[in-house]
């Protein structure tokens, strides 16, 4: 994610003395803050409460070994990548639960499902034609909470014969947008970009279509989860689910949502993330094994 001073910014809508519904996005700026601001305002209107949108820019979700903002009641609703959701669910007494709906983006490959892809992007003049041609390349990734940008790449690299030296060719850029900029500059050779992020950037910056190209795709992956604090009142969670389920019912809202390429919402369950649990488990094992091998080589020098 892009780095803002202080990491988390807050914006509040509504002047009521009623406690605000606190939402936090970890997906901005790669997915525009305006989308989450719209969703916050919509939910606040449906529930009749003021809303507070927090923008976390240092990670794609709560880091695995850090304190989370749900246990302490700092945040009620979160938008972030699947690995942090999986990690939080693995904790004793998980602090979050899945809101049983996911956004559907206008991608023909998704076929109306709440899924996305890791698009493997290179410069237009790079000779690669598939992932197999990039095992020895210099890779950029957004952060280590991301499945699309980091963990999916580790797994695919291993499938194509990479060894521990692959870790040395990885460079953390801070966001999908920063990875795209690094590609254009030639600072890296390849990056796995969230397909929604890439589609939004294609539309906003037409020059990207001539500067960069997609050589492969990984996935599909279940769309990033929308999670709620487990200790929220049941009626509040039910009201949010009902509101999101009706998000695209009104023609006016459908027109507005098209600016972020949202075409609908669809049911989701925790079981939908089992494919990501399997991929994440394998990728984390590779990361640990490769890291140990690299560390062992350095210590033997």
- Span 115-221: which CATH code? 3.40.190.10
Tell which wins on pLDDT, 15 or 76. 76
Whether residue 28 contacts residue 36, with contact meaning beta carbons closer than 8 Å, is answered with: yes
Q: Answer yes or no: same fold for 8-107+223-268 and 115-221.
A: yes
- pLDDT tens-digit series, residues 180-219: 999 999 999 999 999 999 999 999 998 999 999 999 999 9
Q: Which of 168, 186, 148, 152 is nearest to 282 (CA)?
A: 152
pTM listed for this prediction: 0.91
Q: Where are the domains of the chain?
A: 8-107+223-268, 115-221
Q: What is the DSSP string of 95-121?
A: SEEE-SEEEEES-GGGTTSSEEEEEEE
Q: Which residues contact 160 (CB under 8 A, 6 or more apart)?
A: 131, 132, 135
Lowest-confidence pick of 113-127, 158-172, 286-300:
286-300
Q: How far is CA 156 from CA 153, 165, 233, 260, in A?
A: 5, 15, 41, 29
| 3-state percent helix, strand, coil for the chain, nearest multiple of 5 | 40, 25, 35
**Terminal Cα-to-Cα distance of the chain (whole angstroms):** 36
In the chain, what percentage of residues exceed pLDDT 90? 88
Q: Which of the pair, 275 or 296, is modelled with greater confidence?
A: 275
Burial class (CB in 10 A: 0-12, 13-18, 19+), 250: exposed
Classify residue 3 by its DSSP letter: -
CA–CA separation, 99 and 168 (whole Å): 38
- Which CATH fold would you assign to the domain 8-107+223-268? D-Maltodextrin-Binding Protein; domain 2 (3.40.190)
Q: Contact at 8 Å (CB) between 1 and 30? A: yes
């Amino acid at each position: 994610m892009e780095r803002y001073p202080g990491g988390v910014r807050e914006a509040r809508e509504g002047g009521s003395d009623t406690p605000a519904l606190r939402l936090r996005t970890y997906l901005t700026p790669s997915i525009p803050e305006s989308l989450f601001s719209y969703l916050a305002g919509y939910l606040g209107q449906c529930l009749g409460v003021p809303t507070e949108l927090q923008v976390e820019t240092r990670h794609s979700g709560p880091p695995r070994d850090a304190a989370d903002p749900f246990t302490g009641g700092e945040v009620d609703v979160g938008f972030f990548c699947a690995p942090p959701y999986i990690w939080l669910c693995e904790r004793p007494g998980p602090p979050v639960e899945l809101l049983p709906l996911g956004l559907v983006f206008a991608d023909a490959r998704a076929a109306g499902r709440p899924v996305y892809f890791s698009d493997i992007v290179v410069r237009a003049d790079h000779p690669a034609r598939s992932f197999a041609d990039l095992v020895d390349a210099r890779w950029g990734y957004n952060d280590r909470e991301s499945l699309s940008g980091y963990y999916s790449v580790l797994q695919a690299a291993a499938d194509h014969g990479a060894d521990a030296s692959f870790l040395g060719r990885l460079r953390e850029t801070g966001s999908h947008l920063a990875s795209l900029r690094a590609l254009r500059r030639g600072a890296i050779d390849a990056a796995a970009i969230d397909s929604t992020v890439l589609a939004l950037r294609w539309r906003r910056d037409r020059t990207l279509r001539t500067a960069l190209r997609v050589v492969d795709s990984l996935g599909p992956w279940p769309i990033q989860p929308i999670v709620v604090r487990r200790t929220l009142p049941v009626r509040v969670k039910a009201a949010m689910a009902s509101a999101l389920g009706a998000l695209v019912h009104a023609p006016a809202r459908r027109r507005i949502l098209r600016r972020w390429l949202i075409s609908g919402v669809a049911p989701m369950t925790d079981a939908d993330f089992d494919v990501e649990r399997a991929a994440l488990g394998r990728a984390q094992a590779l990361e640990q094994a490769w890291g140990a091998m690299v560390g062992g080589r350095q210590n033997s020098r």
